[in-house]
Amino acid sequence: MQIGIVGLPFAGKTTVFHAIAAGAAEHRQESHGLEPTLATVSLRDPRLEALCTLFATERCIPTEVQYLDFPGAGFGRREKEAAWVGTLRTADALLVVLGAFNETQSPEEELESIRLDLVLPDLQVIENRLARLGPQLRTAPAVERRHLEHEQGLLSRLREGLEQGLPVRALDLSREEEQTVRGFQLLTLKPTLVALNLSEAQLPRAAALASGLRSAYAHPLTSFIGLCGQLEMECAELPPADAALFREDIGIEEPGAAQVVRESHALLGLIHFFTINEEEVRAWAIPQGTRAQDAAGKIHTDMARGFARAEVISWEQLVARNGYGDARKRGLVRQEGRDYVVQDGDVLYILFTR
């Protein structure tokens, strides 16, 4: 799962990136020019930590998110923009950083500028595809023509919305329509987290300032948060205990970087299940509504292919009963089939045939 960071020059997007990376990155890859800098960031999950404490396994493995920053590139630098938009299209979601830490910045204007900067590349992709569809429709067999006409109607609707400045995710697409256009990797179809980069003095009003922007950009799959990137980066460089005391002194309940990671997961519609064996406790991220057999395939394709059943218990029940022994005696471990819809916080043990 990858999230691309975008923003206008001097909005502090690289500062926000370093705050996220320094806080929880297991590995980072530094690069220069138009190649992205990458940070692989672990999601801190108290449920996973409780299970790891209970079972005292050798390894405790959280889910991860990769964040991509593009030093030296960004919207507003036209000569470099086209070269990195293609990489940005491969991301699963976007993190839009707006500068608001001094009086000369206008996050509302930055948001409007970035909105157009995201719309225009998508509009070009749609127009190019519509131009190619014309000749194909004239020569296509009847059955294929019907599919092409359906695509043409859908793309015409998307073009109309984009010309009005609307992101594709705001156009109320059906599941089938979304699948049709997913291959175009449209920027405005991606879930988007907007981070208002504030000064330390503005932090007490972070929620109110983010809420004010939300009304100007109230689209589906869009979330807003406020944080101080500079402060978060400085905290991330402190020992954990010192950083916690410092945040407590200034009234920050949750690190901004942790909030970014958590909101990123939520925007992508992901839930988490857990697996436990003698060597490790691991968290797995899956889309909400995933069946047990498909969740098993996330662990290993052999488990999905030979799926027999899943033993399921919620993490809360497992911790409350102090492990599987008492939980089984009380009938809390359920036997579920391949079509069981996995719930957030489930602990799964997959039984399968090889």
Cα separation, 181 vs 234, in Å, equals 42
H and E: helices and strands count for the chain: 14, 13
Residue ranges with strand state E in 58-162? 59-61, 64-69, 93-100
Whose CA is closest to 112, among 217, 42, 211?
217
Same fold flag, 110-186 and 289-352: no
CATH architecture of 289-352: Roll (3.10)
Q: Which residue has the tokens 């999230």?
A: 3
What is residue 240's predicted lDDT score, i.e. its pLDDT? 78
Contact 197, 100 (CB under 8 A): yes
Reported CATH class of domain 110-186: mainly alpha
CB-CB neighbours of 94 under 10 Å:
23
- In the chain, where are the structural domains located? 2-44+63-101+191-267, 110-186, 289-352
Whose CA is closest to 283, among 298, 267, 264, 302?
298
What is residue 162's predicted lDDT score, i.e. its pLDDT? 95
What is residue 28's predicted lDDT score, i.e. its pLDDT? 44
Tokens of 163: 């010309």
CATH 2.130.10.10 fits 2-44+63-101+191-267, yes or no: no
Q: What is the pLDDT of residues 277-301, one digit of tens each?
A: 989 999 999 999 999 999 999 999 9
312 SS3 class: strand
What is residue 32's predicted lDDT score, i.e. its pLDDT? 47
CA 120 to chain centroid, in Å, comes to 23
Q: Which residues of the chain carry a pLDDT beneath 50?
A: 23-32
Cα separation, 76 vs 7, in Å, equals 9
Tokens of 20: 């996220």
Tokens of 260: 């970014």
What is residue 246's predicted lDDT score, i.e. its pLDDT? 82
